[in-house]
Amino acid sequence: MPRILKVAAAQVGAVDRDADRAETLARLIALLDQAASEKVQLLLYPEVTFTTFFPRHLFTSSSDLNAYFEHNDDLTTSPSTAPLFSKAQNYGIDIVVGFAERTDEGKGYNTCVYYSAAVGKVINKYRKVHLPGTVEPFEDPEAVNQLEKRYFTPGDLGFPAFRAPGLLPTSSGDPVLGMLICNDRRWPEAWRSYALQGAELLLIGYNTVAHSPHLWGTTKPMTEEEAEKEALFHSRLVQQSNSYMNSVFSISSARCGLDDGKYNLIGGSAIINPEGHVVAEAKTKDDELVVAEIDLEECRQGREKTFDFGRHRRIEAYGRIGAQTGVVEPELL
Ligand code: CDT
């Protein structure tokens, strides 16, 4: 029995530092309107959906910084974010939305939530585990910073797979979903943690800088164009290979384009199937809906043969993975 879902990435083009929040929200809603007209059931927005990717900036005023954060409990009620959720509810479309989360205790997390139209509320939350970049800005004034380690705490919720009701007929079983945020997609442990819970579709919002030797550690000099091609290649490589190795569909949604006329972010939002093939991909670096109809039964092929975890995984050989972070080389002979 096929288990077919119509899904989409809502790719979002440039959003400047001083962009008007209401205008950005209107763009997000326009993508939702388009998704409704194409009968999409599940729509994924990028990391930190409502604003520019602010961790590239150093804020000295806490009120300036806090303007980019939302309090968790206010997300679906605050006038600057709630209209997206209520419109999704009216359309009957599930949405995944990223935001900078401020907790009661004052902690910051890079978070996303899954809003279920069938349930009428947020049914799952994920906090980004792998925070790239630095605490302090680079000394080079020309460097692109990524101050996520300054503004956020590593996610403390693990990788919680969940079922989303109302998307498929009850008899075919609710899909098992999982969420990752940007840099997490480069870590196979994150994908495998979801795959071990039977996840059938992973949802990944991102903001990926096209050219930043300070962050990427590129050894050979590259033009902006070459660097962007390389960043796009790596983004696609990790999505395709991890989808294949975990027999899971994945959707990635980019915030992309030229923020403030100078910060270049890659596009490349894509829907990948469990055999690692591209099903649909963005053609622009602007606001764009990337849509596909997917059959979750396609996860079975890998799951029941090559990557049948129960039959083939050898956990007695994997101890190092859960016990060690940095590299420990063998001793010299
Ligand atoms: N937002 C985010 O996590 N971006 C990172 C940039 C890399 S910093 C080395 C990414 O992995 O795409």
The CATH number of the domain holding residue 119 is 3.60.110.10
In this structure, is residue 283 part of a structural domain? yes
Residue 92, domain extent: 4-323
User: Is residue 47 within 6 Å of ligand 1 at its C-beta?
Assistant: yes
Q: Which atom of ligand 1 is nearest to the CA of 235?
A: 12
pTM: 0.98
Residue 297 corresponds to which amino acid? E
Q: What is the pLDDT of residues 106-129, one digit of tens each?
A: 999 999 999 999 999 999 999 999
For residue 154, report the distance from its CA to the centre of ligand 1, in Å.
Answer: 14
Ligand 1 binding pocket includes 216 (Cβ within 6 Å): yes
The candidate with the shortest Cα–Cα distance to 241, out of 287, 274, 206, 198, is 274
Q: Is 11 near ligand 1, meaning CB less than 6 Å away?
A: no
Residue 332 within a domain: no
- Whether the predicted pLDDT of 310 surpasses 90: yes
Find the length of the chain.
Answer: 333
State both tokens at 119.
């349930």
16, pLDDT greater than 80: yes
**In the prediction, which pLDDT does 28 show?**
98
Q: Would the CB of 207 count as within 6 Å of ligand 1? A: yes
Residue with tokens 């101890």, as numbered in its chain: 319
Is residue 37 predicted with pLDDT exceeding 80? Answer: yes
Class of residue 268 by CB neighbours under 10 A (exposed 0-12, middle 13-18, buried 19+):
buried
pLDDT at residue 218 tops 80: no
Q: From CA 243, how far away is CA 195, in angstroms rounded?
A: 10
Residue 300 falls within a domain, yes or no? yes
Pairwise pLDDT comparison (153 vs 218), residue with the higher score: 153
Q: Which residue has the tokens 């403030």?
A: 260
Residue that the structure tokens 């309090």 belong to:
71
The count of domains in the chain is: 1
Question: Does residue 216 have a pLDDT over 90?
Answer: no
What is the C-alpha separation between 89 and 321, in angstroms, rounded? 41
Q: How far apart are CA 198 and CA 177, in angstroms?
A: 8
The tokens describing 250, both together, are 């994945």
For 210, phi then psi, to 5°, come to: -75, -40
Distance, in Å, from the CA atom of 164 to the CA atom of 159, rounded to the nearest integer, reads 16
**Per-residue pLDDT tens for 144-202?**
999 999 999 999 999 999 999 999 999 999 999 999 999 999 999 999 999 999 999 99
Among 151, 50, 55, 52, which residue's Cα sits nearest to residue 97?
50
Distance in angstroms (rounded) separating the CA atoms of residues 139 and 148:
17
> Quick check: is 328 in a domain?
no
pLDDT of residue 219: 75
pLDDT of residue 316: 98
Decide if 316 is inside a domain.
Answer: yes
Counting from 1 in the atom list of ligand 1, the atom nearest the Cα of 206 is 1
Q: What angle do CA 237, 43, 118 make, to 5 degrees?
A: 135
Catalytic residues, by residue number, are: 47, 128, 182
Q: Is 206 in the pocket of ligand 1 (CB under 6 A)?
A: yes
Mean per-residue pLDDT, 16-29:
97
Residue 72 has pLDDT above 90, yes or no: no
Ligand 1 centroid from CA 231, angstroms: 10
- 182: Cβ below 6 Å to ligand 1? yes
Q: Supply angle C-alpha 289, 43, 47, rounded to 5.
A: 90
Q: Which two tokens stand for residue 63?
A: 């009120």
User: Under a CB-based contact definition with an 8 Å cutoff, are residues 117 and 68 in contact?
Assistant: no
**Distance from the alpha carbon of residue 3 to the mean position of ligand 1, in angstroms:** 33
Q: What percent of the chain has pLDDT over 90?
A: 95
Q: What is the mean pLDDT of the chain?
A: 97
> Which ligand 1 atom sits closest to the C-alpha of 130?
3
For residue 330, tell me if it sits in a domain: no
Residue 161 Cα to ligand 1 midpoint, Å, equals 23
| Closest residue CA from atom 12 of ligand 1 | 208
Residue 220 forms part of a structural domain: yes
Residue 331 lies in a domain: no
